[in-house]
A = this chain, B = another copy of it.
Amino acid sequence: MKNYQTYFLMKAPDVPDYVRSKLKEFFPTGAMLESSEIGDGNLNYVFRVKDAVTGKTIIVKQAGAATRISADMILSTDRGRIEAKILQIQAKLAPGLVPEVYLYDEVMCAILMEDMIGHTMMRTGLLQHEIYPGFSEDISTFMARTLLLTTDVAMNHKEKKELVKSFVNPDLCEITEDLVYSEPYNDCHQRNNVFPPNAAFIRQELYEDKVLHLEVAKLKFEFMNHAQSLIHGDLHSGSIFINKKHTFIFDPEFAFYGPMGYDTGNILANMFFAWCNGDAMIKDLVQREKFCSWVLQTIQEIVDKFIEKFKALYEERVTDIMAKTEGFSAYYLAAVLADTAGVMGLELIRRTDGMANVKDITTIEDEEKRVRAERIVVTLAKECILQRNDFKCGQDYLAAIQRAVEKF
């Protein structure tokens, strides 16, 4: 039996022995283990090991030494440690909403964890126009709890600083700084993927709008300097595994101390992409309206439930004497909500003209419909960024969406 004292990149057949070596009692003696690679991410290799006798499964996620995105973006394998640690923290703060970590192996940079079997990647489900009635409830709980309870309005200040230190995440933050906060506004970056029929529109609306650039620059340094909460850092529908009854939030390898609006805004943007896809792709009118109205309702509910849970938790859990000053919680929440709208706009834009497009848009086959969807997205996004202080409740998002849709 190997001793796994030196890192090597595993293939599927390596993984059963590895699991037996690390978690001796997980599978019973007579288990017949099958192994397969199931990941489609860019940064990691994900394997499932299954006991054909009992059906019991486990997931092994190993960080590759170099990312698959492109040859010039080399990432530290330290992100595995960060991911395992944050999953354990989030499990305490939002029990049941993240998969359980059984073990993190520093040598092999691998996490051995609960299989989210019976759940679908949410983006895949949304592309099939599935409805998830419990999602707004689960995601608002997850965000309010993991975000507010890791701030220093609620935490011991010294413990919070140790977390800040332990989650400094230069490699992954650099990806976000480039792909979200810089390249989508600068034609000089050859990595942007622009849909050709919208090239002139993107140039005018995104590359040449200096007023927009100034607001993006403000948000960029807010992202880099505001060590507010232990954020997930990549909270889109590809980081969520879901079914009709339950939600798992996953893939927190971008986690670091940043502005909580980065998570809340990301979710809202990716919900809106689902709306765009449903609006363009569902042929049956009844089905289309059912799916699209559920998406809009969910956007509204995410915002309003987050606000409600944030306020209740603030009352219950905030400890800092100055943070209890009358008016401070409202000031604090208002800043989070402005960040939320700003980041929603940034995510909408970068997924449209940046390097990493979303399938919700790219699978719209009809050219005219895709052109229209992207223009709605960019128009909404710019309002979210430029008028971000005006987005104070769920209804404000619905009204902005309506304005953008009516323009095209």
Chain A positions within 8 Å of B, measured between CB atoms, are 152-153, 157-158, 161-162, 164-165, 168-171, 173-174, 177, 181-182, 185-186, 210, 213-214, 216-218, 220-221, 224-228, 320-323, 325-328, 331-332
CB distance A157 to B182 under 8 Å?
no
Q: Please, which residue of chain B has its CB at the minimum distance from the CB of A165? A: B168
Chain multiplicity (copies)? 2
Name 24 A/B residue pairs within 8 A (Cβ), A-sorted: A152-B224, A153-B221, A157-B173, A157-B174, A157-B177, A158-B170, A158-B171, A161-B168, A161-B173, A162-B168, A162-B170, A164-B164, A165-B168, A182-B322, A210-B326, A210-B327, A213-B325, A214-B325, A216-B325, A217-B322, A218-B331, A220-B322, A225-B226, A225-B227
CB distance A168 to B164 under 8 Å?
yes
Q: Please, which residue of chain B has its CB at the minimum distance from the CB of A324? A: B217
Min CB gap A184→B, angstroms: 11
Min CB gap A395→B, angstroms: 27
Most chain B beta carbons < 10 A, residue from A164, A182, A326: A164
Residues of B within 8 A of A157 (CB): 170, 173-174, 177, 224
Residues of B within 8 A of A217 (CB): 322-323, 325, 328
CB distance A322 to B161 under 8 Å?
no
Inter-chain CA distance A332–B222, complex, in Å, is: 11
Known: A170-B157, A227-B227. A322 touches B165 (CB 8 A): no
Inter-chain CA distance A208–B164, complex, in Å, is: 34
CB distance A181 to B322 under 8 Å?
yes
- Please report whether the interface of chain A is mostly helix, strand, loop or mixed according to DSSP: helix
Inter-chain CA distance A221–B171, complex, in Å, is: 26
Residues of B within 8 A of A181 (CB): 322
Q: Please, which residue of chain B has its CB at the minimum distance from the CB of A229? A: B225
CB distance B221 to A152 under 8 Å?
yes
Residues of B within 8 A of A227 (CB): 225-227
Residues of B within 8 A of A326 (CB): 210, 213-214
CB distance A331 to B177 under 8 Å?
no
Known: A214-B326, A217-B328, A325-B217. A226 touches B226 (CB 8 A): yes
Q: Which are the 4 A-B pairs with shortest beta-carbon distances?
A: A217-B322, A158-B170, A165-B168, A161-B170
Min CB gap A183→B, angstroms: 9
Query: Which residue of the partner chain, among B221, B322, B323, contacts A332 with CB atoms under 8 Å?
Result: B221
Inter-chain CA distance A182–B164, complex, in Å, is: 22
Residues of B within 8 A of A170 (CB): 157-158, 161-162
Other than the known A181-B322, A218-B328, what 12 A-B pairs have Cβ atoms closer than 8 Å?
A: A152-B224, A161-B169, A164-B168, A186-B321, A213-B325, A213-B326, A216-B322, A217-B328, A225-B226, A225-B227, A225-B228, A226-B226
